[in-house]
Structure 1
């Protein structure tokens, strides 16, 4: 069994190959959508898939009935859930390497520890909405800002085959407020769109959107086939959700003025209501070189 702990920096920022795609599986059995998406992601990246279940055993390990060993029962349920999730993953991507692990610790701590060797952390939001609102906010707070790899939340009903729709050209949408917290998100989204040959949509929204530029930031070597900037004075979460309706991914930043900041217009509610996976990308390491903020024209074509 692994020991849960705090995450350490992983230099694979999720845009390339590298470590395994790690999925947090719950014993309640609401994670199949996330597992299927993660399996397709691991297949496309050419990396292993790791299914991890953080299991909290009640103190004493026994219930109120004589002879009932709760700990043994929970471990059995956890192993069965992982077997079922493994089958779901292999149905999507038959050739990928899949590993399973039950870790007796709290799920957030387990996923933080898994970040050390991961390229992505993936969780789902299947289940009951009122409970999920509390659970997901807890998971997001526990992971975003504490791990150095992107965190992906996959909504219920998300079709992992959307990446193949229109020859893989479903758009990648990213929130861009020009802050340090969004720069890494833009780079991640640009690399994703470039790799898949998909359009990139940069959303600049909120009360001060009229003050933002319509220019496209420097994207480095990752040049998607097209880039479009959307400016809107509506709340950013609403604009992002609308733009991401037929998208493959919507990408957010974190950090000083990113997704976790209480003044940021992109609310965590986007995670609960988006129709495609939401990726929260960490900022680059403090010693990372920041590219010059040169600009190119609004519409970029190959």
Structure 2
């Protein structure tokens, strides 16, 4: 089966921005693109045909077909060589897109759809899909930056390993530098074993910082070998993870995070840091789940 990028559309400006991003992703990957609209009205027992009081060519189904056609046209204008297919699928958006993610290499959605509340930075569909999608989920703002680095949050957990690999692959596809950012504090970093056994709590100054820098280096080592052409900047900084990643996103073209990090509670599908990035990052955010 050929690689496939899926983009969810609902007629919003945010969704059309997602279509352009998805088309470029498909082009870079040599993948096909599928434009999908979740048609919820039949599920709510609302007639999708023309109203008796309206024009014969009207109706909700006609509107759905038109918005999908507009999205397909936008995708083909963005990446003419990409094979674009489309589908209007009956169902609730999260259910439809989660099902689509099972056969996709990447699924792309806008940050806010037609049903979003004014003032929200990201809609519920994007947040829930990031938690439940079976492939990486890329959430796009209206005006993503064309340049800048790819930034990835690294915490050394097994759950973040796939996020790091995805970030390296994206940096290679985009021909962009990669900033690997690891933020730590004395509260979220495990204390290194004391070197002086006669003083069990004694460590030389800077031992914790050195330990965290080593953690970052080890997390990147194998990926550097697989992606030798990617220029990587290691950044181990003392500070809160959310604030550090939000600040780094200001000049980034993409921010990549794992769905859950080493501080996550068992059972949570989406951690607090990844949720905060979806709401507050200044660039598109890719959320990558770890192994099931």
Q: TM-score range by the shorter chain?
A: 0.7 to 0.9
Question: Within the alignment, does 1:147 sit opposite 2:133 as a pair?
Answer: yes
Contact 1:155 1:274 in 2 (8 A): no
1:82-110 CA-partner distances (Å, limit 9, x unpaired):
11111111121112111111111001111
**Per the alignment, do residues 101 and 184 of structure 1 end up closer, same or farther by CA in structure 2, a change over 3 Å counting?**
same
Bigger Cα displacement from structure 2, 144-153 vs 214-223: 214-223
1:196-248 CA-partner distances (Å, limit 9, x unpaired):
44322111125336655213222342235432222334332321122222322
Contact 1:24 1:52 in 2 (8 A): yes
**Per the alignment, do residues 263 and 76 of structure 1 end up closer, same or farther by CA in structure 2, a change over 3 Å counting?**
closer
Match of residue 205 from structure 1: 183
Bigger Cα displacement from structure 2, 104-113 vs 119-128: 119-128
SS in 1 for 2:76: helix
Contact 1:18 1:119 in 2 (8 A): no
* 2:227 alignment partner, one of 222, 231, 238: 222
* Structure-2 separation of matches of 1:228 and 1:60: 53
Structure 1, unmatched stretches of 5+, are 1-16, 286-302
The alignment's TM-score, normalised by the length of structure 2, stands at 0.76
Contact 2:260 2:274 in 1 (8 A): no
* Structure-2 separation of matches of 1:18 and 1:246: 34
**Per the alignment, do residues 157 and 182 of structure 1 end up closer, same or farther by CA in structure 2, a change over 3 Å counting?**
same
Match of residue 101 from structure 1: 87
* Structure-2 separation of matches of 1:259 and 1:283: 12
Match of residue 92 from structure 1: 78
RMSD of aligned Cα (Å):
3.3
Bigger Cα displacement from structure 2, 23-32 vs 89-98: 23-32
Bigger Cα displacement from structure 2, 51-60 vs 268-277: 268-277
SS in 2 for 1:219: helix
Contact 2:9 2:35 in 1 (8 A): yes
* Structure-1 separation of matches of 2:104 and 2:80: 21
The alignment's TM-score, normalised by the length of structure 1, stands at 0.73
Return the offset for 1:20.
Answer: 1.1
Question: Within the alignment, does 1:137 sit opposite 2:124 as a pair?
Answer: yes
Query: How many residues matched?
Result: 259
* Structure-1 separation of matches of 2:97 and 2:269: 24
**Per the alignment, do residues 134 and 238 of structure 1 end up closer, same or farther by CA in structure 2, a change over 3 Å counting?**
closer
Structure of larger gyration radius: 2
Return the offset for 1:266.
Answer: 1.6
Match of residue 115 from structure 1: 101
* 1:193 alignment partner, one of 142, 156, 171: 171
